Amino acid sequence: MSKELTKVEVKVAPFNRVEGDLEIQVFLDENKVVSASASATMFRGIEMILKGKSPMDPLVITPRICGICGQAHLRAAVNALENAYKAEVPKNANLIRNICQAAENVQSHFVWFYALFAIDLVNEKFAPSPFYEEVVKRFSLISGTSYQQVLKFRKRMLEINAIFAGQWPHSSFMVPGGITGSPFLTDLTKTIGIIKEFQDFLERVVYGCSMERWLQINSVRDLNKWLSESESHRNSDFGLFYQFALDMELDRMGKGPGKFMSSGLYEDADNPYNYDVDQRETWLPAGFYDGKHVQTFDHMKIQEHIAHSFYKGYEDGRHPWEGVTDPDYRETKDEKYSFAKSPRYDNQVVEVGPLARMVVDQDPLIMEMLANFGPSVFMRAVARFQESVRTLVKMYEWLEQVDLKQPFYKKPNEPQRAKGVGLTEAARGSLKHWTVIEEGKLANYQVITPTAWNVSPRDSMNNPGAIETALLGTTVMNMDDPVEIGNVVRSFDPCLVCTVHSIQGDKVNKFKLGL
């Protein structure tokens, strides 16, 4: 019998607490993952639906790609049109757009932690930790004390989108040239009140300190000092997670490719990007981190590969403006095994998400922690905590800048032939839309989601995707309950319902992973 057939096989299905359909297959040798493949098993065909439609239709259709980050898809769609139309956007419109997108992203970070990720931490594998009893008390599904609170405040935070956008999810209030309505003073006042309520929750429960105190932490030394100076800091949810995660060595799991990319997030209201995407300015910058330095971002360096995807139409990689979405499903999964394409930046496998944004922004705390701990399950969680506080502070600044006496919309010209790119970031990472308009209709429309970057299959050069890479070397303690696979995959916050497989010769065990 070959060594390949002696490897361990276990099927875990479904990998839940995420949206969509994903299957991950891992092969283990002596309890360690030696290879992995990520297979997106559902085809939606949004690009095919949009072909031939009005250029404005993506404003209604693409927010329905996802029920979690619809604001981000709307922002990418409107950015693509404004880039194509060379539209001018009033400062007020960009401020309101930023506020709504920030509300969606911040609440998503805490829903991810409490409702998707931390539930795995109550697994009996972690019982040896002295922090385990408190973790179970706070983070257990439904009964967890913090779990219950975050659902309440998540709903409250999303009311900001209802105030300005009319609804959430799937709102369509952003249009080329601005937004569809002008808010009142009472809308701004209500929004400030909601943010203050959410801030109070964070300061009492999540951080155990004021946001101002948290933002004084710029190094690992500062963080350890913060942890030791107050019982409320140590007993906060972040303090608990920080101690527990290091005790259980979550900092040694799920390294990934070690290269990061961000499209840039939250347009500079004074310098909206429309005429020249290269001159676009954002609060959280665009860039590519090669493991040592941050390089200038160039969307023309992006190519999508389909060598291992259920598509046909071209060889090697292709930029999305020339992209083809022509499904080619095969029952026999040999070389092709996923409906996800394989996006690459400058032929590099990259990780996207909050950690990528903080790295590209060179956040002092995250950069020093990254140097100490390296990319990991632990660091992906810490980056969300850090980004959330910074974003909440920024939301107050944007609200203060809104001038109700100034316009919120300026009608753009609508050329019959144009190309545009819409760059933004959803909570879980880089989101991009490309539009090609010919004779007043969409000749091509391509979307690359954050999950496509992270969960992509192998590319034309046979390089594994970010999650496939991160799973390598993962030790599975209990073959009947491979919670470690869940820890790694969920740390990326994939927006899919997942099935995880691991292989043991000709034997297949199938069971449910978590709740």
* Structural domains in the chain (count): 1
Q: Provide mean pLDDT across the span 404-433.
A: 96
- Average pLDDT over the chain, rounded to an integer: 90
Q: Above 80 in pLDDT, residue 124? A: yes
The confidence score (pLDDT) of residue 510 equals 40
Q: Above 80 in pLDDT, residue 409? A: yes
Q: Which long-range contacts (CB under 8 A, 24 or more apart) does 150-153 make?
A: 150/110, 150/111, 150/113, 150/114, 150/115, 150/201, 151/111, 151/114, 151/115, 153/107, 153/110, 153/197, 153/198, 153/201
β-pairing, 8-15 vs 510-513, is parallel
Q: Name the residue with higher pLDDT: 110 or 16.
A: 110
Residue 493: closest CA among 458, 459, 449: 449
What's 229's domain CATH number? 1.10.645.10
Which residues of 128-173 form beta strands (DSSP E)? none
How far, in Å, CA of 62 to CA of 84, rounded?
17
The confidence score (pLDDT) of residue 20 equals 60
How far, in Å, CA of 484 to CA of 513, rounded?
10
- The region of weakest confidence among 227-236, 249-258, 379-388, 489-498 is 489-498
97, burial (CB in 10 Å: exposed 0-12, middle 13-18, buried 19+):
buried
Q: What is the DSSP letter of 411?
A: P
The confidence score (pLDDT) of residue 10 equals 54
* CB-CB neighbours of 46 under 10 Å: 18
Q: Above 80 in pLDDT, residue 100? A: yes
- The region of weakest confidence among 77-91, 353-367, 477-491 is 477-491
How far, in Å, CA of 411 to CA of 441, rounded?
19
Query: Which residue reads 């949004």 in tokens?
Result: 46
Spacing of C-alpha 155 from chain mean position: 20
How far, in Å, CA of 68 to CA of 319, rounded?
27
Is there a contact between 303 and 318 (Cβ–Cβ < 8 Å)? yes
Whole-prediction pTM: 0.93
β-pairing, 498-504 vs 282-289, is unpaired
SS3 (DSSP) at 19: coil
Owning domain of residue 171:
3-513
Q: Which tokens is 490 given?
A: 């969920």
C-alpha gyration radius of the chain = 22
The predicted-structure confidence for 238-275, as pLDDT tens digits, reads as follows: 999 999 999 999 999 999 999 999 999 999 988 766 55
The predicted-structure confidence for 8-35, as pLDDT tens digits, reads as follows: 655 444 455 556 677 878 889 888 999 9
The predicted-structure confidence for 211-221, as pLDDT tens digits, reads as follows: 999 999 999 99
Sequence-distant (≥ 6) Cβ neighbours of residue 59 within 8 angstroms: 74, 77, 78, 81, 172, 174, 175
The confidence score (pLDDT) of residue 274 equals 58
Residue 183: closest CA among 294, 100, 85: 100
Sign of the CA dihedral with 65 first, then 266, 402, and 159 last? positive
SS3 (DSSP) at 288: strand
